[in-house]
Homo-oligomer: A and B are copies of this chain.
Amino acid sequence: MTQYTHQTAPTRLLEAAGIRFAYRRFGKAGGVPLVFNQHFTGTMDHWDPLVTDGLAATREVILFNNAGISNSSGEVPTTIEEMGAHAIAFIKALGLKEVDVLGFSIGGFVAQEITLQSPELVRRLVLVGTGPRGGEGMATLTPEAQEIFGTMYDEPDHLWLRVHFTRSENSQAAGRKFLKRFRRRGENRDPEVNEKVAPAQIEAIGKWGAPRERPFEYLKSIRQPTLIVNGGNDVIIYSVNSFILQQHLPNAQLILYPDANHGSQYQYPELFVRHVAMFLSGHDPA
Protein backbone atom coordinates (compact mmCIF):
# COMPACT_ATOMS: atom_id res chain seq x y z
CA MET A 1 0.00 0.00 0.00
CA THR A 2 2.87 2.40 0.73
CA GLN A 3 6.62 2.61 0.75
CA TYR A 4 6.48 3.46 4.42
CA THR A 5 8.80 1.67 6.81
CA HIS A 6 9.05 1.36 10.56
CA GLN A 7 10.96 4.66 10.55
CA THR A 8 8.72 6.64 8.24
CA ALA A 9 5.19 5.32 8.78
CA PRO A 10 3.03 8.19 10.06
CA THR A 11 1.12 7.73 13.29
CA ARG A 12 -2.59 7.79 12.44
CA LEU A 13 -5.62 8.04 14.70
CA LEU A 14 -8.81 6.00 14.64
CA GLU A 15 -11.88 6.27 16.88
CA ALA A 16 -13.50 3.06 18.14
CA ALA A 17 -15.46 2.13 21.27
CA GLY A 18 -14.88 5.59 22.65
CA ILE A 19 -11.09 5.31 22.35
CA ARG A 20 -8.88 7.25 19.94
CA PHE A 21 -6.30 4.64 18.90
CA ALA A 22 -2.86 5.64 17.60
CA TYR A 23 -1.58 3.22 14.96
CA ARG A 24 0.78 2.77 12.03
CA ARG A 25 0.37 0.60 8.90
CA PHE A 26 3.07 -0.31 6.43
CA GLY A 27 4.36 -3.16 4.29
CA LYS A 28 3.02 -5.21 1.42
CA ALA A 29 -0.73 -4.79 1.21
CA GLY A 30 -3.22 -7.22 -0.29
CA GLY A 31 -2.97 -10.21 2.01
CA VAL A 32 -3.95 -10.80 5.61
CA PRO A 33 -2.40 -8.06 7.78
CA LEU A 34 -0.43 -8.85 10.91
CA VAL A 35 -1.45 -6.92 14.03
CA PHE A 36 1.22 -6.49 16.74
CA ASN A 37 0.35 -6.40 20.47
CA GLN A 38 3.04 -4.85 22.64
CA HIS A 39 4.66 -5.76 25.97
CA PHE A 40 4.42 -4.15 29.44
CA THR A 41 4.70 -0.33 29.31
CA GLY A 42 5.81 -0.46 25.67
CA THR A 43 4.66 1.72 22.77
CA MET A 44 4.83 1.22 19.02
CA ASP A 45 8.42 2.43 19.20
CA HIS A 46 9.49 -0.56 21.27
CA TRP A 47 9.19 -2.93 18.31
CA ASP A 48 12.39 -3.85 16.49
CA PRO A 49 12.54 -2.38 12.96
CA LEU A 50 14.34 -5.54 11.79
CA VAL A 51 11.29 -7.53 12.87
CA THR A 52 8.54 -5.17 11.71
CA ASP A 53 10.21 -4.23 8.41
CA GLY A 54 11.33 -7.84 7.95
CA LEU A 55 7.76 -9.07 8.16
CA ALA A 56 6.46 -6.06 6.20
CA ALA A 57 8.44 -7.34 3.21
CA THR A 58 5.83 -10.07 2.71
CA ARG A 59 2.68 -8.72 4.41
CA GLU A 60 1.05 -5.62 5.81
CA VAL A 61 2.05 -4.84 9.37
CA ILE A 62 -0.17 -2.92 11.80
CA LEU A 63 1.23 -1.48 15.02
CA PHE A 64 -1.02 0.22 17.55
CA ASN A 65 -1.14 1.53 21.09
CA ASN A 66 -3.99 0.00 23.05
CA ALA A 67 -6.29 2.14 25.24
CA GLY A 68 -4.46 4.41 27.67
CA ILE A 69 -1.02 3.74 26.16
CA SER A 70 0.99 6.80 25.09
CA ASN A 71 -0.87 8.73 22.39
CA SER A 72 -4.00 6.52 22.52
CA SER A 73 -6.78 7.96 24.64
CA GLY A 74 -8.71 6.25 27.43
CA GLU A 75 -7.49 4.33 30.44
CA VAL A 76 -5.53 1.09 30.60
CA PRO A 77 -8.05 -1.42 31.90
CA THR A 78 -7.15 -3.75 34.75
CA THR A 79 -8.12 -6.95 32.94
CA ILE A 80 -6.66 -8.64 29.88
CA GLU A 81 -10.23 -9.34 28.77
CA GLU A 82 -10.94 -5.61 28.40
CA MET A 83 -7.63 -5.07 26.62
CA GLY A 84 -8.64 -7.80 24.18
CA ALA A 85 -12.04 -6.19 23.64
CA HIS A 86 -10.35 -2.84 22.90
CA ALA A 87 -8.00 -4.48 20.40
CA ILE A 88 -10.94 -6.14 18.66
CA ALA A 89 -12.79 -2.81 18.46
CA PHE A 90 -9.70 -1.22 16.91
CA ILE A 91 -9.20 -4.02 14.34
CA LYS A 92 -12.87 -3.96 13.33
CA ALA A 93 -12.85 -0.16 13.06
CA LEU A 94 -10.08 -0.52 10.48
CA GLY A 95 -12.65 -2.43 8.43
CA LEU A 96 -10.68 -5.67 8.62
CA LYS A 97 -12.51 -9.01 8.57
CA GLU A 98 -9.51 -11.27 9.10
CA VAL A 99 -6.05 -10.67 10.55
CA ASP A 100 -3.06 -12.55 11.83
CA VAL A 101 -2.26 -11.58 15.40
CA LEU A 102 1.16 -11.38 17.04
CA GLY A 103 1.48 -10.74 20.75
CA PHE A 104 4.59 -10.33 22.87
CA SER A 105 4.51 -10.87 26.66
CA ILE A 106 1.36 -9.18 28.03
CA GLY A 107 0.60 -8.58 24.34
CA GLY A 108 0.54 -12.37 24.01
CA PHE A 109 -2.16 -12.53 26.69
CA VAL A 110 -4.11 -9.91 24.74
CA ALA A 111 -3.60 -11.88 21.51
CA GLN A 112 -5.12 -14.96 23.19
CA GLU A 113 -8.06 -12.86 24.40
CA ILE A 114 -8.65 -11.45 20.92
CA THR A 115 -8.80 -15.01 19.61
CA LEU A 116 -11.08 -16.25 22.38
CA GLN A 117 -13.52 -13.35 22.01
CA SER A 118 -13.50 -13.07 18.19
CA PRO A 119 -12.27 -16.37 16.77
CA GLU A 120 -13.66 -15.52 13.33
CA LEU A 121 -11.39 -12.48 13.15
CA VAL A 122 -8.12 -14.37 13.63
CA ARG A 123 -6.52 -16.53 10.96
CA ARG A 124 -3.18 -17.34 12.62
CA LEU A 125 -1.64 -16.52 15.96
CA VAL A 126 1.99 -15.82 16.92
CA LEU A 127 2.69 -15.88 20.67
CA VAL A 128 6.11 -14.56 21.67
CA GLY A 129 7.64 -14.58 25.15
CA THR A 130 4.32 -15.24 26.79
CA GLY A 131 2.27 -17.81 28.67
CA PRO A 132 -1.15 -19.18 29.50
CA ARG A 133 -3.61 -18.04 32.17
CA GLY A 134 -2.42 -19.41 35.50
CA GLY A 135 0.99 -20.44 34.12
CA GLU A 136 4.08 -21.23 36.17
CA GLY A 137 5.38 -18.27 38.16
CA MET A 138 2.78 -15.98 36.60
CA ALA A 139 0.66 -15.06 39.64
CA THR A 140 3.01 -12.14 40.34
CA LEU A 141 6.06 -10.71 38.60
CA THR A 142 8.82 -13.31 38.88
CA PRO A 143 11.56 -12.55 41.43
CA GLU A 144 13.88 -11.85 38.50
CA ALA A 145 11.36 -9.44 36.93
CA GLN A 146 10.89 -7.65 40.24
CA GLU A 147 14.63 -7.15 40.54
CA ILE A 148 15.05 -6.09 36.90
CA PHE A 149 12.11 -3.66 36.82
CA GLY A 150 12.95 -2.40 40.34
CA THR A 151 16.49 -1.34 39.43
CA MET A 152 17.34 2.23 38.35
CA TYR A 153 19.43 2.40 35.19
CA ASP A 154 21.80 5.30 34.30
CA GLU A 155 20.46 5.02 30.79
CA PRO A 156 16.72 4.17 31.03
CA ASP A 157 16.84 2.11 27.82
CA HIS A 158 19.29 -0.25 29.53
CA LEU A 159 16.34 -1.73 31.35
CA TRP A 160 15.65 -3.63 28.13
CA LEU A 161 19.12 -5.18 28.10
CA ARG A 162 18.08 -6.98 31.27
CA VAL A 163 14.46 -7.72 30.33
CA HIS A 164 15.02 -8.99 26.81
CA PHE A 165 18.55 -10.47 26.88
CA THR A 166 20.55 -12.93 28.99
CA ARG A 167 23.71 -12.00 30.86
CA SER A 168 25.93 -13.76 28.31
CA GLU A 169 28.33 -11.67 26.24
CA ASN A 170 26.67 -12.70 22.98
CA SER A 171 23.21 -11.86 24.20
CA GLN A 172 24.24 -8.49 25.65
CA ALA A 173 26.03 -7.58 22.42
CA ALA A 174 22.84 -8.39 20.52
CA GLY A 175 20.96 -6.26 23.03
CA ARG A 176 23.12 -3.20 22.42
CA LYS A 177 22.46 -3.54 18.68
CA PHE A 178 18.74 -3.79 19.39
CA LEU A 179 18.79 -0.59 21.46
CA LYS A 180 20.33 1.27 18.53
CA ARG A 181 17.74 -0.13 16.16
CA PHE A 182 14.72 0.76 18.26
CA ARG A 183 15.98 4.35 18.61
CA ARG A 184 16.54 4.63 14.86
CA ARG A 185 13.13 6.19 14.24
CA GLY A 186 14.07 9.77 15.07
CA GLU A 187 10.88 11.68 14.35
CA ASN A 188 7.30 11.31 15.44
CA ARG A 189 8.09 8.84 18.18
CA ASP A 190 5.40 7.96 20.65
CA PRO A 191 5.41 9.76 24.01
CA GLU A 192 6.44 7.51 26.88
CA VAL A 193 3.51 6.01 28.80
CA ASN A 194 2.23 7.86 31.84
CA GLU A 195 2.52 6.71 35.46
CA LYS A 196 -0.92 5.05 35.49
CA VAL A 197 0.01 2.43 32.88
CA ALA A 198 2.34 0.14 34.85
CA PRO A 199 0.05 -0.34 37.90
CA ALA A 200 -2.98 -1.08 35.72
CA GLN A 201 -1.06 -3.54 33.57
CA ILE A 202 0.43 -5.23 36.64
CA GLU A 203 -3.05 -5.66 38.10
CA ALA A 204 -4.24 -7.19 34.83
CA ILE A 205 -1.19 -9.47 34.63
CA GLY A 206 -1.81 -10.65 38.20
CA LYS A 207 -5.42 -11.58 37.45
CA TRP A 208 -4.42 -13.40 34.26
CA GLY A 209 -1.59 -15.28 35.97
CA ALA A 210 -3.48 -16.22 39.14
CA PRO A 211 -3.67 -19.97 39.85
CA ARG A 212 -7.02 -21.63 39.15
CA GLU A 213 -8.58 -25.04 38.60
CA ARG A 214 -7.64 -26.70 35.31
CA PRO A 215 -5.97 -23.50 34.13
CA PHE A 216 -5.12 -24.66 30.62
CA GLU A 217 -8.52 -26.03 29.57
CA TYR A 218 -9.40 -22.80 27.80
CA LEU A 219 -6.54 -23.29 25.35
CA LYS A 220 -8.43 -26.19 23.75
CA SER A 221 -10.84 -23.67 22.25
CA ILE A 222 -8.12 -21.78 20.36
CA ARG A 223 -8.21 -23.75 17.11
CA GLN A 224 -6.09 -21.37 15.03
CA PRO A 225 -2.69 -22.53 13.82
CA THR A 226 -0.36 -20.99 16.37
CA LEU A 227 3.37 -20.38 16.45
CA ILE A 228 4.91 -20.01 19.92
CA VAL A 229 8.37 -18.45 20.13
CA ASN A 230 10.54 -17.74 23.14
CA GLY A 231 14.05 -17.77 24.46
CA GLY A 232 15.02 -20.88 26.36
CA ASN A 233 16.08 -18.71 29.31
CA ASP A 234 13.12 -16.38 29.79
CA VAL A 235 13.16 -15.07 33.38
CA ILE A 236 10.24 -12.66 32.90
CA ILE A 237 7.70 -15.28 31.83
CA TYR A 238 9.43 -18.59 32.39
CA SER A 239 10.15 -20.54 29.19
CA VAL A 240 8.28 -23.59 30.50
CA ASN A 241 5.10 -21.58 29.90
CA SER A 242 5.81 -21.66 26.16
CA PHE A 243 6.09 -25.45 26.41
CA ILE A 244 2.81 -25.55 28.35
CA LEU A 245 1.12 -23.46 25.65
CA GLN A 246 2.34 -25.90 22.97
CA GLN A 247 1.17 -28.91 24.96
CA HIS A 248 -2.35 -27.56 25.46
CA LEU A 249 -3.13 -25.63 22.28
CA PRO A 250 -4.61 -28.02 19.68
CA ASN A 251 -2.53 -26.78 16.76
CA ALA A 252 0.64 -25.10 17.96
CA GLN A 253 4.25 -25.22 16.88
CA LEU A 254 6.91 -24.23 19.42
CA ILE A 255 10.31 -22.69 18.73
CA LEU A 256 12.76 -21.95 21.57
CA TYR A 257 16.03 -20.15 20.84
CA PRO A 258 19.27 -20.78 22.76
CA ASP A 259 20.88 -18.43 25.28
CA ALA A 260 17.93 -16.06 24.95
CA ASN A 261 15.73 -14.35 27.50
CA HIS A 262 12.32 -12.67 27.13
CA GLY A 263 13.11 -10.82 23.88
CA SER A 264 14.55 -13.70 21.84
CA GLN A 265 13.04 -12.20 18.67
CA TYR A 266 15.29 -9.17 19.12
CA GLN A 267 18.34 -11.34 19.63
CA TYR A 268 17.70 -13.34 16.44
CA PRO A 269 15.58 -10.95 14.36
CA GLU A 270 16.41 -12.40 10.92
CA LEU A 271 15.83 -15.96 12.06
CA PHE A 272 12.60 -14.96 13.79
CA VAL A 273 11.35 -13.19 10.67
CA ARG A 274 12.09 -16.28 8.58
CA HIS A 275 10.35 -18.59 11.02
CA VAL A 276 7.30 -16.34 11.35
CA ALA A 277 7.05 -15.65 7.61
CA MET A 278 7.25 -19.41 6.89
CA PHE A 279 4.53 -20.05 9.42
CA LEU A 280 2.23 -17.26 8.26
CA SER A 281 2.71 -18.27 4.62
CA GLY A 282 1.24 -21.66 5.36
CA HIS A 283 4.50 -23.61 5.56
CA ASP A 284 3.05 -24.90 8.71
CA PRO A 285 1.91 -28.28 9.82
CA ALA A 286 -1.79 -27.58 9.33
Q: Within the assembled complex, what's the spacing in Å between the Cα atoms of A267 and B285?
A: 8
Tell me which residues from 251 to 280 in chain A have a Cβ below 8 Å from any Cβ of chain B.
251-260, 267-268, 270-271, 274, 278
Task: Given A271-B284, A274-B283, A283-B270, verify A252-B247 contact (CB < 8 Å).
Answer: no
Measured CB to CB, the closest approach of chain B to A147, in angstroms, equals 21
CB of A72 within 8 A of chain B? no
Tell me which residues from 223 to 264 in chain A have a Cβ below 8 Å from any Cβ of chain B.
225, 232, 239-240, 243, 246-247, 249-260
Specify which of B239, B254, B260 is in contact with A232 (CB 8 Å cutoff): B254
Residues A256 and B260 in contact, CB atoms below 8 Å apart = no
Residues of B within 8 Å of A270, CB to CB, are 283
Number of copies: 2
In chain B, what residue has the closest Cβ to A174?
A: B285
Residues of B within 8 Å of A254, CB to CB, are 232, 254-256
Q: Within the assembled complex, what's the spacing in Å between the Cα atoms of A13 and B24?
A: 63
Residues B253 and A259 in contact, CB atoms below 8 Å apart = no
Residues B252 and A232 in contact, CB atoms below 8 Å apart = yes
In this complex, the member of A239, A255, A285 whose beta carbon has the largest number of chain B beta carbons within 10 angstroms is A285
Q: Within the assembled complex, what's the spacing in Å between the Cα atoms of A268 and B284?
A: 8
Residues A247 and B232 in contact, CB atoms below 8 Å apart = yes
Residues A253 and B251 in contact, CB atoms below 8 Å apart = no
Residues A260 and B246 in contact, CB atoms below 8 Å apart = no
Residues A258 and B250 in contact, CB atoms below 8 Å apart = yes
Task: Given A239-B247, A246-B232, A247-B232, verify A258-B253 contact (CB < 8 Å).
Answer: yes
Residues B267 and A274 in contact, CB atoms below 8 Å apart = no
Task: Given A243-B243, A274-B278, verify A285-B256 contact (CB < 8 Å).
Answer: no
Measured CB to CB, the closest approach of chain B to A256, in angstroms, equals 4
Q: Within the assembled complex, what's the spacing in Å between the Cα atoms of A234 and B232?
A: 20
In chain B, what residue has the closest Cβ to A168?
A: B250
Residues of B within 8 Å of A271, CB to CB, are 278, 283-285
Residues of B within 8 Å of A274, CB to CB, are 278, 283
Residues B252 and A258 in contact, CB atoms below 8 Å apart = yes
Residues of B within 8 Å of A250, CB to CB, are 258-259
Residues B247 and A253 in contact, CB atoms below 8 Å apart = no
Residues of B within 8 Å of A259, CB to CB, are 250-251, 285
Q: Within the assembled complex, what's the spacing in Å between the Cα atoms of A283 and B246?
A: 23
A-side residues, CB < 8 A to B, are 225, 232, 239-240, 243, 246-247, 249-260, 267-268, 270-271, 274, 278, 283-286
CB<8 Å pairs between A and B, sample of 21: A225-B258, A232-B252, A232-B254, A240-B243, A243-B243, A243-B256, A249-B258, A250-B259, A251-B259, A252-B258, A253-B258, A254-B255, A254-B256, A260-B285, A267-B285, A268-B285, A270-B283, A271-B278, A271-B285, A274-B278, A274-B283
